[in-house]
Structure 1
Amino acid sequence: MADGRVERGNQTRRAVLDRTMSIASVDGLEGLSLGKIAADLGLSKSGVFALFGSKEDLQLATVRAAVEVFKDEVVRPVHRDRDGLAKVWRLCERWLDYSGRRVFPGGCFFYSVSAEFDARPGPVRDEIAEARSDWTRYIERLLDDARLTGGFRDASDADEVPQLAFELTSLMELANAHSVLHGDPLAYERAGRGILRRLRAVAAAPDELPERPPAFTSPS
């Protein structure tokens, strides 16, 4: 009986977080309301309060849940790929696909909530900032792995890594912003072309990278 209650609690928590991630990607984390979530899901308000305790706790749990979704969609699928710039491209391609498929209805979850909390100090901002820093560090690590394994034309140019990571991230996030605002899937293709041109420019073997990204369909 105790195990059944725990599992029901876990199921309720998952259902709540699935809903809050979707809402936050469109309306922001400040748009979350324990009472409204309970009503939307046909749950008791007291039951939702028992799981999360406060709005801030719900916001933090939502960010952490979104991190796991992001890892499943973008990071883990390329984890075992061979190091090199082709792996970096596949990671970027996964990111563009994650945003373009609207895994979260508002596009990239972290782009949305970062704009909301970037100038508001506190635990929620810290959680978002850490998630974004982890993502940047991961791209930099893959780029540096590619450099150290001979993937760069100039293997001694370690300073290129953070600059290149910044440019790739900028292209992905601009594609997300443009597509969400205008409903234009070509933004992802343009970003993909820009990413590939940048990677091919530093690659020791540019032919190992595609010349063009795949076509992206309209967001559903």
Structure 2
Amino acid sequence: MTVTSLPPPRKRSSASAAARSLQKGQQTRAAILEAALGLASHMGLEGLSIGALAEVTQMSKSGVFAHFGSREELQIAVIREYHQRFEEEIFFPAVREARGLPRLRALFERWVKRVSVELDSGCIYISGAVEFDDRPGPVRDALASMVRAWQAALERAIRLSIDEGHLRADTDSLQMLFEIHGLILALHHDARFLRLPGAVDRARTGFDRIVSLYLTTTPDRKPRAATR
């Protein structure tokens, strides 16, 4: 009887092993970033350090350092992660609304809800502005870039409201943006710092009053049908 020898066991391909190693590294980095975001929300970006993060994640400092080569790189990564989540929670759902005033209202309403949730932690956009307003450098640049991107999205929604005929043609989009942003800052101050009840309702009332100043029609009239 002829005995057929079995083929030798296949060796793991180096490419497959590298892919698994990369995936594990990405998962570890994501876990570190999640912990860093939590720390920054409560302690500010200045509260972040490799040592504090190593303690929270129960990793070695060298292990954390391998994923974020410096404290500055860590802070910038946290800012970008916060901005991405901000977009996913506020911007992307809101832009599915009809162009014009419905979309602008959705952006503001989702922003208010986000601030309401962050009362016990903090908004990195707002706390970061306080920490880095007079400190030039890559961290400030990254933070300012994200805030400008969000403000640009809001102004675009205002201009679309003008184009759709929901707001007056002479509406100053930058002035309206300034007023709306001011409501959010006041909400954060009164609700988080002063712990005043009713701040959320006052912010919504303020938004309605701002919109009423620029409306082309009375608030009871439905806006004309808008194309996306």
Q: Distance in 2 between matches of 1:114 and 1:208?
A: 39
Which of residues 173, 187, 199 is equivalent to 1:175?
187
Quote how far apart the aligned CAs of 1:204 are: 2.4
Equivalence for 2:203: 191
Structure 2 stretches lacking a partner, 5+ long: 1-16, 223-228
8 Å contact from structure 2 (residues 44, 124) kept in 1: no
Quote how far apart the aligned CAs of 1:3 are: 2.0
- Residues 87 and 208 of structure 1, relative CA distance in 2, 3 Å threshold: farther
Quote how far apart the aligned CAs of 1:185 are: 5.0
Deviation by residue 1:48-88 (Cα, 9 ceiling, x = unmatched):
10101000010111111111011011111112211111211
- Residues 208 and 98 of structure 1, relative CA distance in 2, 3 Å threshold: farther
TM-score (norm 1): 0.87
TM-score (norm 2): 0.84
Structure 1 stretches lacking a partner, 5+ long: 210-220
- Residues 6 and 169 of structure 1, relative CA distance in 2, 3 Å threshold: same
Deviation by residue 1:75-107 (Cα, 9 ceiling, x = unmatched):
1111221111121111011001011012x8423
Which of residues 207, 210, 213 is equivalent to 2:220?
207
CA RMSD of aligned residues (A): 1.6
Runs of 4+ in 1 over 4 A off after TM superposition: none
Quote how far apart the aligned CAs of 1:142 are: 0.5
Letter of the 1:135 counterpart:
W
Paired residues for 1:6-155 under 5 Å: 6-102=22-118, 105-152=120-167, 154-155=168-169
Deviation by residue 1:130-182 (Cα, 9 ceiling, x = unmatched):
11111111111100011011111x22x15x11000000001012101221113
Equivalence for 1:161: 173
Identity of aligned residues (%): 36
Q: Distance in 2 between matches of 1:163 and 1:11?
A: 43
Q: Which moved more, 1:38-47 or 1:88-97?
A: 38-47
- Residues 177 and 12 of structure 1, relative CA distance in 2, 3 Å threshold: farther
Q: Distance in 2 between matches of 1:80 and 1:121?
A: 37
8 Å contact from structure 1 (residues 38, 44) kept in 2: yes
Larger radius of gyration: 2
Letter of the 1:70 counterpart:
F
